[in-house]
Amino acid sequence: MYDKEMLDFAYRYPFSKEAKEVISLRNMSTIEQKYMELAKLHIEEAVSKGIEFRDIGLDYSKTDYVVVYLYSRMLIGATGDPALMEKYADAEARRSAKVIKTERRERIARILEEIGISGKFDRDGNLEVPVFVFLKLSEHSGIDLINQRLSGGIVYLDRYNLVGLFYGAAKAAMLSTMPLKADDLPKEIVSYSKKNRIRMPESKASRYAGTSRGWIDRLLERPVLDGRHRIVNLVLAPYFTTVKGLTVEEASSIIEEYIGRCIAVNPHTDITPQYIKYQCRYAKNKGLKPLSFKRAVEIFGGIIDQLGG
């Protein structure tokens, strides 16, 4: 039987090998209706408003969460919807990123190693990561190398940037196990999924997205950790006011929602609603156009480059 330390770790990081061990030690020979229903609610909550972490003390509740994560993966696999997979993995990654902000170093090192981040902490609490590891994992994190401290092939990450890198790596780790084929799933899961469809909610930004789904629309689907001030004034404010023709208030509301999702991953920002409204008003009055994709790549580098033109 698993001990409380293993269960607590699995609850905090349901994509970890400890979570797999918790599942393997339970009798999961039959599909339970209650877990399918809980998983559906869990997915809908995740994709509509995110998932909050609660440091609960009841062992059975923690075990239930780990089991629900497994059922959620199966239900999402049964839908075959890649957008749903991405949105759910994003929500779970943010939940665990919130946990790691205040986690003990030994636990941080443990989960980082599991998701492919090799490194060690220096005396100041910064994580030393080889630059090739950083470049490999930063693709999903929205962290740009140009804004990091780099010396002798080592990137030094403070806790804020560590959280961002962890978020991206955790999301990538979950997505790598998410595409479960319907043919490999229990028939009860497939049947339940067909009868109880899970739909993606419409975000404020998606109401105004272009039919071509350009790089700015794709940017709005993921939080970024660097360059957020310039993304607001050079990209988003002109995009929603000049290109989409929204009012200052409408544009500000959408951008605030987006920045809120960025802050959920890394709160290290001083962007305020007043700043956003000022940039929207300025862009509208001047008729400013957002940066072209080529120019955005020159300014923001990898944050934008991976979105495609």
293: confidence class by pLDDT, cuts 50, 70, 90: confident
Report pLDDT for 299. 84
In the chain, % of residues over pLDDT 70: 90
User: pLDDT tens-digit profile of 32-82?
Assistant: 999 999 999 999 999 888 888 888 777 779 999 999 999 999 999 888 887
User: pLDDT tens-digit profile of 151-174?
Assistant: 889 989 888 888 888 888 898 888
- Name the more confident of 137 and 98: 98
User: Where are the extended beta strands (E) located within the chain?
Assistant: 120-121, 127-130, 149-151, 154-157
pLDDT average, residue stretch 88-105: 90
The token pair at 88 is 């759910």
**In the Cβ-directed half-sphere of 92, how many Cα atoms lie within 13 Å?**
31
Q: Which long-range contacts (CB under 8 A, 24 or more apart) does 68-71 make?
A: 68/35, 68/38, 68/39, 68/42, 69/14, 69/15, 69/19, 69/42, 70/23, 70/28, 71/35, 71/36, 71/38, 71/39, 71/189
In the chain, % of residues over pLDDT 90: 35
Q: Report whether 218 contacts 308 (CB < 8 A).
A: yes
User: pLDDT tens-digit profile of 197-242?
Assistant: 887 665 555 555 544 347 888 888 777 777 888 999 999 999 999 9
Residue 33, amino acid: Q
Q: At what angle do helices 59-79 and 82-100 cross, to 10 degrees?
A: 150
Q: Report whether 148 contacts 156 (CB < 8 A).
A: yes
